[in-house]
Amino acid sequence: MNLDLQAGIDARRSVTAHLEVFVVEESDLVLAIALADGHVRDDEQLLASLDGTPVEEDGVLHLRGPGFDLVLDDAQAARLAGHRGAQVTAGIRPASFHEGMEAAGSVDVIVVVSEYLGSTSILVTRCGEAEVLVELSSATPIRGGTPMKLGIASQDILLFDPMTGGAL
């Protein structure tokens, strides 16, 4: 294992007192989180799951819910043609969030736990009732309790049927 990868793994192991992040397959860099109760969540379960309703406004389709407004691109809008007005789940990977970028959509979060790793901060946040794991580039630590507005690019939004869990 190369030293840069090992340093990244070691840094991620200290994310919080109740979360431990580690690499389970070096070749694919598959991440897993072991919770204090012993349960393990794989990479797919690290997605923020935000339940919202597709709403069209000025010819643009949005997915809106408590604390978020995501702008969907034309391909996503086409996939949601049969789901207008119905509940849809947006999945967002931790590294897909950006500070100060609101053009494609935004998520309002409150930082619950923050681990500053030098040039990166790993945050456990809340958006409404949802727990959202966020990985941000940062020059300074971010304090717990800090409200933040995070941007997301349309191509980073994955859409799922909340009843079946299947991709849309």
Average pLDDT score, the chain: 75
Question: Which pLDDT score, from 0 to 100, does residue 138 have?
Answer: 82
**What are 75-89's pLDDT values in tens digits?**
999 988 877 778 999
How confident is residue 22, by pLDDT bands cut at 50, 70 and 90? very low
Q: Report the alpha-carbon distance of residue 33 to residue 88 in Å, rounded.
A: 25
Question: Which pLDDT score, from 0 to 100, does residue 137 have?
Answer: 87
Q: Report the alpha-carbon distance of residue 60 to residue 37 in Å, rounded.
A: 43
Question: Which pLDDT score, from 0 to 100, does residue 117 have?
Answer: 84
How confident is residue 73, by pLDDT bands cut at 50, 70 and 90? very high
How confident is residue 2, by pLDDT bands cut at 50, 70 and 90? very low
Q: Confirm if 116 and 141 have CB atoms less than 8 A apart.
A: yes
- Rg for the chain (alpha carbons), in Å? 17
Asked whether residue 55 carries a pLDDT value surpassing 50, the answer given is yes
Residue type present at position 30: V
How confident is residue 46, by pLDDT bands cut at 50, 70 and 90? low
Q: Among the ranges 17-21, 76-80, 99-103, which has the highest mean pLDDT value?
A: 76-80
Find tokens 């340093």 and name the residue. 7
